[in-house]
Structure 1
């Protein structure tokens, strides 16, 4: 007779995650106007976010409909708003992301739906966001975290590799884009045995960045 293995992954609480340069707060509809200012930009959607360039909402009302759907929460999804922490722009919304596709039995999850204001693309925001989210995942018993990007998006794919993730392959004809074409997705993962080295690498990148708060370049 087979024994049932105890489930070790636990659903993380929807509570703020605070780092040195950013804090992640549970997504709220009240965040949408600031999020529109940060993300309703052609360069954000160009790489495949929100279905690609044709998915760019035409106005703030359309962005609100998009964001409330894209960042919907639920029992298997924890969406987050990304805010700057410290400095002149403390509290400013600069992006959003989601910890979702949670499978507690198989200890797997997906970090994705991620986009940032282009003015902070080089500021260490993504590095610390992933450090916070991956730490939350592995601290709550998850064993594998998936990350993925449109196969055409070389910038995002390179960023995922720099996090320390392992390339697993291409999921062909994976998602339909806003223009009606089919997207192939490049799939990556980080597993729990790799986490100590990945964490050390992310922390080293933040140390190398220095202590200066993230600034909105051009704000």
Structure 2
């Protein structure tokens, strides 16, 4: 498995690997909705952005993460970020996540379009497993992950400590290579409903 930091695009979004030139647009996209960051392991809004940005660039340089700016094509605006991370070529697996969208980009085609592009990129590169995790308390996120077609595998108790200091249980989901054709069809059918 060899994942490359390339631009991924469909008719809804353009996923651009983060670079110094995107810093201002990504900062603006993430600097909102502080409440939404409460369940996340790290925060990237306001004063937290610089540390998050530096960590993302460091992980990209090491090859363990590809962080993307999510550009909505309908208006050209960067509306959030998402990543392939915990990239483990020796096990042909990675995680998909570290995702945040501005409130106006939630509930439409942006998330399923991003997931379709990222899962396709991972499986085309030879992945056999893509994990998606979320805070076990975040029912909306868990529901969205199930809607993508990922299979629930259980809850990892006391798995992570959030930036607020709360001990987090993590709900773990995965899409395997043999699941991908069905998951892809489901995502493409969802995206076909958006004019």
TM superposition score normalised by structure 1: 0.82
Unpaired runs of at least 5, structure 2: none
1:30 aligns to 2:21 (yes or no): yes
1:124 aligns to 2:109 (yes or no): yes
Find the counterpart in structure 2 of residue 98 from structure 1: 83
Distance in 2, matches of 1:206 and 1:184, equals 31
Contact 2:41 2:160 in 1 (8 A): no
**1:115 offset after TM fit, Å?**
0.6
Distance in 2, matches of 1:28 and 1:204, equals 32
The size of the alignment, in residue pairs, is: 192
The answer to which structure has the higher strand fraction is 2
Runs of 4+ in structure 1 off by over 6 angstroms are none
The Cα offsets for residues 51-74 of structure 1, whole Å up to 9 and x where unpaired, read as: 4xxx46444xx4223222245412
The Cα offsets for residues 69-119 of structure 1, whole Å up to 9 and x where unpaired, read as: 24541222111111012x3x12x1111111111222221111111111111
SS of the equivalent of 1:184 reads: strand
Find the counterpart in structure 1 of residue 37 from structure 2: 45
Unpaired runs of at least 5, structure 1: 1-8, 211-219
**1:199 offset after TM fit, Å?**
0.2
Q: Which structure is higher in RCO with an 8 Å CA cutoff and minimum separation 6?
A: 1
Q: Which moved more, 1:102-111 or 1:130-139?
A: 102-111
1:83 aligns to 2:71 (yes or no): yes
Distance in 2, matches of 1:105 and 1:58, equals 37
* Pairs within 5 Å for 1:1-219: 9=1, 11-41=2-32, 42-46=34-38, 48-51=39-42, 55=43, 57-59=45-47, 62-70=48-56, 72-73=59-60, 74-85=62-73, 87=74, 89-90=75-76, 92-210=77-195
